[in-house]
Amino acid sequence: MGGKHGKPLAKKTLTSLTEATSFDAGTVKRLYIAFHVISSTVKDDGVIDAEEFQTAIGFRSATFCRRIFQLFDGDGDMFINFEEFVRAMHVLKLPTSSGREKSIEEKLKFSFQVYDEDKDNKISKEELANAFSDVMETRDIAVTKGQMSAIINATFKQAKTANADYITYEEYSSLIKCNPNSLQNFIQAYSVDIDAALQNAAAMHRAEKKKRKK
């Protein structure tokens, strides 16, 4: 796990993160261990880079993952620190029955930012095509330019956009929420099994401790 994880989690940080997310103190502490496992995958420097982040969340598309990474990298230093990591896991966690509606709304707002590359608060056809291509890549689905064009046009028609050139957040949100299949695919695309990730990190932690003792 490397030498960077020896510093205990500050109580102030623990309190701040439990208040800002839906995670309890125990989960934040386990995420702290997982963070230091992940942050030492490529280089043991106490932060997570884009490559380590992609490995951690399991997205196949480097482009799609990089967009997500950049949004979670709040200070724009090209690394994710522990607090940014916890907030990322909060958005990407699988929705629970009790907090499903709130979790989906958070994912919708976040995913809209992923698609909205130029940050003008609307998604153009080109931006949507780029995003769809990345999502298709994560699922190993090959799509021709003609097929993609048809998908984009059909999406705009289904969204009943007021403008032929872009989709607003309200139209985007309504489109996904009103279609059960789209909603389910959306949740799968923007969710990470936190428990599985923590179990994997714990297993890596135990293996490294055993290795160091030899």
Contact between residue 47 and residue 79 where contact means Cβ atoms under 8 Å apart: yes
Q: Tell me phi and psi for residue 166, to 5 degrees.
A: -155, 165
Which of 1.10.238.10, 1.25.40.10, 3.30.1280.10, 1.10.357.10 would CATH assign to domain 3-93+192-213? 1.10.238.10
Contact between residue 118 and residue 127 where contact means Cβ atoms under 8 Å apart: yes
CA distance 85 to 47: 9
CATH topology of domain 100-189: Recoverin; domain 1 (1.10.238)
Contact between residue 89 and residue 194 where contact means Cβ atoms under 8 Å apart: yes
Pairing assessment for the beta strands 123-124 and 166-167 based on DSSP bridges: antiparallel
Write the pLDDT tens digit of every residue in 125-168: 999 998 888 777 766 778 888 999 999 999 999 999 999 999 99
What is the structure's pLDDT at 10?
93
Write the pLDDT tens digit of every residue in 168-209: 999 999 999 988 888 888 888 788 877 777 777 667 667 766
- 2 pLDDT band, cuts 50/70/90, is very low
Same fold? 3-93+192-213, 100-189: yes
pLDDT of 4 higher than 60 = no
Residue ranges of domains in the chain: 3-93+192-213, 100-189
Average the pLDDT over 28-56 and give the result.
86
Average pLDDT, the chain: 85
What is the structure's pLDDT at 123?
96
What is the structure's pLDDT at 205?
63
Q: Exposed, middle or buried: residue 88 (CB in 10 Å: 0-12, 13-18, 19+)?
A: buried
H or E element: which one contains 197?
helix 194-213
What is the structure's pLDDT at 153?
93
